Structure 1
Amino acid sequence: MLKKLTERIYFLPGEKRTDRPYLYYINGDTMSLAVDAGNSKWHVEKFYHELKEHGFRKPAYTVLTHWHWDHTFGMHAVTGKTIASVLTNQKLREVQNWEWTEQKMREREERGEDIAFCNQCILCEYENLGDITVIPADIELKEKVEINLGGIHCVLEPHDSTHSRDSLFLYIPEEKVLVVGDSDCEDYYGDGKYDRDRLLDLIAYIKSFDFTTYLIGHDVPRSRKEAMDFLHSQLEMVSV
């Protein structure tokens, strides 16, 4: 069910069984924007059904926080234009060439191109692997841009993170809300641990925003204090 964060911002909670992330909706006076495209067309359909139930229009833009399957495999089913960092699109063009059979998935896992957890969740989400459709975003970002939705603005900026090098952050100044996706998690496509230098950079970057609410990919919204406490606790463990 769609949840209300503010008068302008709503979200569809994630689902652990198939690793569906939280999907966010920013409602402007003239148009709206969604954050992340979900892990399948069924995920998108559920999101749009909830928007319709609340009397909201479909988003004019859908912004991708990073390339991972659970945030992008629903992109072919969204309305409007899609937006991603240049690095995200580079990776999605690579993934477009992947073959989707259980054998090929196992081979990619063995080579370190993909990981077991993702493959397990994909097999749960997709009864027929032939339904998987991967496409790049319509619009690529190299640097910070601002989108005026009417009465509310979204500032988008690509920046490195501890989770994925292609992360895209979204800041909503009127609401003092920062959307980070999975960017403060470990890099599971690496060694599954935090890189100390990348974590230090991420902490400094996040701290530079004037935010009170922190929105992440797979859990409930956090306060600024909760977000910074979490990041510093991870830094302490890396530094030991």
Structure 2
Amino acid sequence: MGSLIFLGSAFAQSKPSDTIQLKPIQVAPHTYFVQGFPEMGSSANQNFISNAGFVVTPGGVVVVDALGSPILAQKLIAEVKKITPQKIVALIVSHYHADHVYGLQEFKKIGAKIYAQGEGRNYLSSETAKQRLVASRIDFAPWVNANTKLISADVWVDLKTKLTIGGVDFFVSRVGPAHAPEDLMVYVPSEKVLFAGDLVFRGRIPFVGNADSKGWLIALDEIERLNPNIVIPGHGNYSVKPAEDIAFTRNYLKYLRQSMSQAAINLDPFEDAYKQADWSEYEGMPLFRAANRMNAYNVYLSIQAE
């Protein structure tokens, strides 16, 4: 019996302490967001590396994105309860990347209706999604574990839909393939707020992954045409000067394409093109070392496929 008690206490000591707090920031009369860390996901940060936001209406709360682990989603739900007695009635997924969707099951449990773009079904059924979850159960343990599931949407959006909840309109539009095949953006005209998902990054190097960089640049033009007062990006602080902050993501993508295009088209070695590029504008930013080379290589490959 004594040895069992010892093992139990040893296990308790080995579990990472829970020090992560979510602090909603009010950006418009009824709109709030929480800001993830400009880091790689880890057990220490509970995969809190992306943003989520919510709008309080007389008919319930609409949340955009579910964060990167179930415990973060639980904390977000608790923070919403501190602000309003209204129930969370809907959750809109900007795209099916792990740091935005591993909290979905907690919103499902409380009865929120989940909306996502139809291309997300391809991700959910993919081997990539399954293997990523297997790895995340190790990388983000114990916060992502065997009980963490991939959750499908209740409503699959094709191109556009308008949700009206409590008299507030939410214009949900497909803008992919861009950062992901299933990108959605959410515009709330009464708040003049746009939830841009990972179409906009602030304060860190964007994650390009297998993005369609050409489609992404078109999507940024679409955001500017809406002329919102506030943009809530997928990563980084909210923007009160959307044109300036969109320019950062746009210029980075354009530079990736410019610096990789000739080598990609001529089938010259990627390493040579990467060494010849001038990264001085970006190399001091968070996640440059983690993401930049991979971003450049993916753009190099995608240009060859265009």
Report the TM-score range of the alignment, normalised by the length of the smaller protein.
0.7 to 0.9
Q: Does 1:233 align with 2:251?
A: yes
**Deviation of residue 198 (structure 1)?**
2.2
Q: Which residue matches 1:113?
A: none
More helix by share: 2
Kept in 2, the 8 Å contact 1:27–1:149? The answer is: no
Secondary structure in structure 1 of the residue aligned to 2:88: coil
Which of 56, 70, 90 matches 1:27? Answer: 56
TM-score (norm 2): 0.64
**Deviation of residue 220 (structure 1)?**
0.7
Q: Which residue matches 1:206?
A: 223
Q: Which residue matches 2:164?
A: 148
Secondary structure in structure 2 of the residue aligned to 1:165: coil
Q: Which residue matches 1:111?
A: none
Which of 83, 88, 98 matches 1:54? Answer: 83
CA deviations 1:84-134 (Å, max 9, x no partner) are 000113212336982688xx64xxxxxxxxxxxxx5x96135356313211
Q: Which residue matches 1:157?
A: 173
Q: Does 1:179 align with 2:195?
A: yes
Q: Which residue matches 2:121?
A: 89
Q: Does 1:169 align with 2:185?
A: yes
**Deviation of residue 50 (structure 1)?**
0.9
Report matched runs for 1:1-12 at 5 Å.
Answer: 1-12=23-34
Kept in 2, the 8 Å contact 1:48–1:58? The answer is: no
Kept in 2, the 8 Å contact 1:146–1:154? The answer is: yes
**Aligned-pair Cα RMSD in Å:** 2.6
Kept in 2, the 8 Å contact 1:30–1:150? The answer is: yes
Query: Runs ≥4 in structure 1, deviation > 4 angstroms?
Result: none
C-alpha spacing 1:122/1:167, structure 2 compared with 1 (3 Å): farther
CA distance, structure 2, for counterparts of residue 227 and residue 128 of structure 1 = 32
Q: Which residue matches 2:94?
A: 65
Unaligned runs of 5+ in 1: 106-118
Report how many residues are paired.
220
Greater CA drift, 76-85 or 177-186: 177-186
Unaligned runs of 5+ in 2: 1-22, 40-44, 201-205, 260-306
CA deviations 1:148-198 (Å, max 9, x no partner) are 1224211001121542121011011112211111124442246xxx73x22
CA distance, structure 1, for counterparts of residue 253 and residue 150 of structure 2 = 35
Q: Which residue matches 1:218?
A: 235
CA distance, structure 2, for counterparts of residue 23 and residue 199 of structure 1 = 20
Which of 125, 139, 148 matches 1:132? Answer: 148
Percent identity for Structure 1 against Structure 2 = 20
Greater CA drift, 161-170 or 132-141: 161-170
CA distance, structure 1, for counterparts of residue 119 and residue 229 of structure 2 = 28
TM-score (norm 1): 0.81
**Deviation of residue 136 (structure 1)?**
0.8
Kept in 1, the 8 Å contact 2:199–2:220? The answer is: no
